[in-house]
Structure 1
């Protein structure tokens, strides 16, 4: 299987924060943001794997760095940053933007692990990923440490 450029999986989505998406403080529900993150990570992984079915294996810690409010626009961007045999690490960044003031804030960052599924319902191999830009290379080079951290976290008794 031929490796694919990291930019081939890049996915961008824009969402408007609407009143039903928010709590009594008019800020977006964290669960709504998580759903958006999972959705874009899935699409990104599908593009890389060239498969219609991928599943979420894990979501690394999600830090809500700032809130988004009714009327704000959320800009989500995702890329496959590294791959295993059947898994893909996907980085998702969420920014909020107030269109009246032009203020932009980083809302959330997260890494997810997605697994490509074959027609038989079992994990199927995926192509390696090739970084090009300095930022892509940084994500790619730091991926083994994140993978090891996930393995250690999975071994920790709950």
Structure 2
């Protein structure tokens, strides 16, 4: 699992219990996975199709720094399937696990669009081709 993004839990991110609002966390996850999928598939019209059961394992409070980790599980014809974990950066305590998220690339009409990718590419891989 590679952890890509860090977020600082601020007062506006809290629920009435004083802990991180689950909806805010899911917003951060969806945005991060969307950006990652768009970069990997090189198709700007890539959307969230499916998220598996969401397992809130623990919480975060104001001042905590969390990090969002993901790994690629599979490439489909028009999709990329990912796993996501969010943890506390300092304690490494898991906050949430999503076992399966499917992101799908779309054409201009909103239909699935083939991307031709079969493996994770890094910047160094893409620079070799230039």
Q: TM-score, normalised by structure 1?
A: 0.68
Residue 23 of structure 1 aligns to a residue whose secondary structure is: coil
The answer to whether 1:128 aligns with 2:115 is no
Cα distance 1:37–1:124, how it changes in 2: closer, same or farther (>3 A)?
same
SS in 2 for 1:27: coil
CA distance in 1, matches of 2:103, 2:92: 29
Whether contact under 8 Å (1:44, 1:90) holds in the other structure is no
- Using the TM superposition, give the Cα deviation of residue 36 of structure 1 relative to its aligned residue in structure 2, in angstroms: 1.1
Kindly state the Cα deviation for residue 119 of structure 1 after the two structures are TM-superposed.
Answer: 3.9
Structure 2: tracts of 5 or more residues without a match: 121-130
Aligned residues: 118
Query: In the alignment, is the contact (CA less than 8 A) between 1:44 and 1:78 conserved in 2?
Result: no
Hey, what does 1:49 align to over in structure 2? 41
What is the CA–CA distance in structure 1 between the aligned matches of 2:71 and 2:45, rounded to whole Å?
Answer: 17
The RMSD of aligned alpha carbons is 1.9
Residues 81 and 129, structure 1, Cα contact 8 Å, conserved in 2: no
1:61 is matched with which residue: 47, 53, 60?
A: 53
Corresponding residue for 2:95?
107
**Residues 118 and 79 (structure 1 numbering): CA distance in 2 closer, same or farther, change over 3 Å?**
farther
Pairs within 5 Å for 1:14-93: 14-93=6-85
Question: What TM-score comes out, normalization by structure 2 length?
Answer: 0.81
Greater strand percent: which structure? 2
Once residues 24 and 103 of structure 1 are traced to their aligned partners in structure 2, the CA distance between those partners, rounded to angstroms, is 24
Given that residues 3 and 67 in structure 2 are in contact (C-alpha distance below 8 angstroms), is that contact kept between their aligned partners in structure 1?
no
Cα deviation digits, residues 80-101 of structure 1 (max 9, x gap) = 220111111011110113xxxx
The answer for the alignment partner of 1:117 in structure 2 is 106
